[in-house]
A and B are shown apart, each in its own frame.
Chain A
Amino acid sequence: MQQGYDGNVPATAPLFAALGDPVRLAMLARLCTGGPLSTMVLGQGIEVSRQAITKHLQVLEDAGLVSSDRVGRDRLWQMRPQQLVAAREYLDRMSAQWDTRLERLRKFVEEEFD
């Protein structure tokens, strides 16, 4: 088992892929509102095996979205919001790109006569 995640996020971590799964998003939502939580509590009410829950949590941990510490025979998980902020920032920048492109389109259709 890995130690609790504390270092830098690997450059190639599949952040968006990690976020693109309903089970993982559900677990992240739980951690947002009520973390830190144990693996057992995180899996409650989610219709997948304990093994699958652990796997999902590892994907989130590899992407730097959560970190964990061993507590007895279980692990305690918590959110690492920095990565979510980074994801949001990426989309904000892509969004800003479209703003400038659209401003050029506006100029083109409103002021240039074909």
Chain B
Amino acid sequence: MNVDRIEKKIILNASREQVWRAISDSSRFGKWFGVAIDGPFVAGQEANGRIVPTQVDPEVARMQEPYTGTPWHVVVDRIEPMRLFSFRWHPYAIDAAKDYSAEPMTLVTFELSDIEGGTLLTITESGFDRIPLERRTDAIKANDGGWAHQAQLVKKYLAIEERS
């Protein structure tokens, strides 16, 4: 039984360089992730930003309003061009009024490799063993709302692309 890590693999129909840029360039990262990040990612340094509302759907944007502007904070760990990018963060730290700085962080790692038809991206998030249970409850509550919005957002996104 592994309760300490999440691992995801996805094959992206894009060149390794495109995927690398989408992950390691902070402005590109922010576009898909939904965050406005101040400055570039630098190994060993903090990157700070704010959650931004979607511009795809004003209705969803309004529902996301409570989280808009919530500080977003990671500590970049390693940057190995075209191969590996990692950072530490507080998973789902969405309560703007709460100070998360003293709490333990998880480590998120993006690893790229070539595969037939594109680029294989492996994401792992580890270190949950040090996250207190209190957070678990918070995250579940927060996620119940966030999930539905995200699903709507994806739907809306698809509909818009189909039209264009």
Contact = CB atoms under 8 A, between A and B. Distances in A.
Interface residues of A, number: 40
Interface string B13-26: 11000110111000
A114 B34 contact: no
A110 B12 contact: yes
A17 B130 contact: yes
Nearest to A92: B6
B115 to A, nearest CB: 14
B6 A98 contact: yes
A93 B12 contact: no
Interface size class of B (residues with CB under 8 A): 35 or more
B139 to A, nearest CB: 7
Contacts, number: 109
B18 A109 contact: yes
A11 B154 contact: no
A90 B123 contact: no
Contacts of A63: 133
Interface stretch (A42-50, A67-75, A100-108): A100-108
Contacts of A17: 129-130, 132
Interface of B: 1, 3-4, 6, 8, 10, 12-14, 18-19, 21-23, 28, 31-34, 91-92, 121, 123, 125, 128-134, 136-137, 139-140, 143, 147, 150-151, 154, 157, 161
